Amino acid sequence: MGYGDEIMTTGFVKLAKQKYPEAQIIIGDKKSGYVYDHLIFNNNPKITKSNFIDPEKQQIWLESFPGKRPYIKSYDSKKIIWNDKFRAIKGEIYFDNNELSFAKNELLKIRNKSSKKIIFIEPSPKKNTDFKKQSDNNIGKINKRWDKNKWQELIYELKNKFVFIQNFHEQSIKYHNCNPLKSSFREACSVLNLCDGFVGWEGGLSHAAAALNKKAVVLFGGFISPKLTGYELHENIYVDIKGSPCGKRDYCNHCEKCRNIITVEEVKKRLNKIFL
């Protein structure tokens, strides 16, 4: 999941700090002394990073880092077994002045042209994506993607109601009627913070949307359940058929079926619902 893991971690940091307000909250493995510093934790006053640990003060260690995630019970190269007892908690993102200025400048470019609501989208497929040939043994990303034609149809059908913005990089598919945004992940989150809503697959930006209290339509397909990594403030589209949530990390016929079940009309209906 990448950045989404760290954003979820900040939610548990928030709870730990409420319970132990005077303690240092450290992300990592206490036994080995490994401290996991990550850019998502930047500026977060509740987290003590490795170079600020005071051995004389109380320490609360949270074990959430690559290779040890609380929403995963076990995994191998082919499949993830989910921890059914896990529930995501809204995280927190603390922006610096440069990130806030970047977002303000980017949104002004759009606001000067239109007064429509601004929707940040995260279309998953990259150029030349072949679902049956690609493999991603880190997260199973190939099983959390919607067809590019469906994304374009969604944008086109709602272009008179919303302005769309997309974080764009060299491997991104360029969509018509969508504003490209070239930025880092944190900068993208700072822009999302000034948008009216989010539409995309479950992942880093869906967790950012929750942390920033943004309305969102989040596509889950059949890879993972919103009971684990979804949020009540969002419209979560989950395809609960035989095999869901599969957790497969390479190409999956079940996930392809789930992707195909999610229609443009369903996503459009959910998006219209949250902005009635």
What pLDDT was estimated at residue 135? 46
d(C-alpha 24, C-alpha 58), whole Å: 6
What pLDDT was estimated at residue 112? 86
CA angle in degrees (0–180, nearest 5) for 28-34-36:
50
Q: How confident is the model at residue 124 (pLDDT cuts 50, 70, 90)?
A: low
CATH number of 97-274: 3.40.50.2000
d(C-alpha 240, C-alpha 79), whole Å: 18
d(C-alpha 79, C-alpha 65), whole Å: 19
State what percent of residues in the chain have pLDDT above 70: 93
What pLDDT was estimated at residue 162? 96
Mean pLDDT of 87-109: 97
Predicted TM-score of the model (pTM):
0.93
Distances 47 to 40, 42, 44, 54, 70 between C-alpha atoms, Å:
11, 9, 6, 13, 18
What pLDDT was estimated at residue 221? 93
Q: How confident is the model at residue 140 (pLDDT cuts 50, 70, 90)?
A: low
| Domain ranges (residues) in the chain | 3-70, 97-274
Q: Tell which wins on pLDDT, 30 or 126.
A: 30
Q: Which of 1, 178, 168 is nearest to 88 (CA)?
A: 1
What pLDDT was estimated at residue 2? 77
What pLDDT was estimated at residue 169? 78
What pLDDT was estimated at residue 172? 83
State what percent of residues in the chain have pLDDT above 90: 82
Q: Tell which wins on pLDDT, 29 or 112.
A: 29
Contacts of 195 (CB under 8 A, 6+ apart): 107, 118, 119, 120, 165, 214
Q: How confident is the model at residue 92 (pLDDT cuts 50, 70, 90)?
A: very high
Tokens linked to 145: 């993607």
Query: Residue 238 pLDDT more than 60?
Result: yes
Query: Residue 100 pLDDT more than 70?
Result: yes
Whether residue 203 contacts residue 4, with contact meaning beta carbons closer than 8 Å, is answered with yes
Whether residue 58 contacts residue 23, with contact meaning beta carbons closer than 8 Å, is answered with yes
What pLDDT was estimated at residue 137? 42
State phi, psi for 215 to the nearest 5 degrees: -60, 145
Mean pLDDT of 159-174: 89
Query: Residue 136 pLDDT more than 60?
Result: no
Mean pLDDT of 30-59: 97
Q: How confident is the model at residue 20 (pLDDT cuts 50, 70, 90)?
A: very high
Tokens linked to 112: 């000067």
What pLDDT was estimated at residue 71? 97
Query: Residue 102 pLDDT more than 90?
Result: yes
Query: Residue 98 pLDDT more than 90?
Result: yes
Q: How confident is the model at residue 250 (pLDDT cuts 50, 70, 90)?
A: confident
| Mean of all residue pLDDT scores within the chain | 92
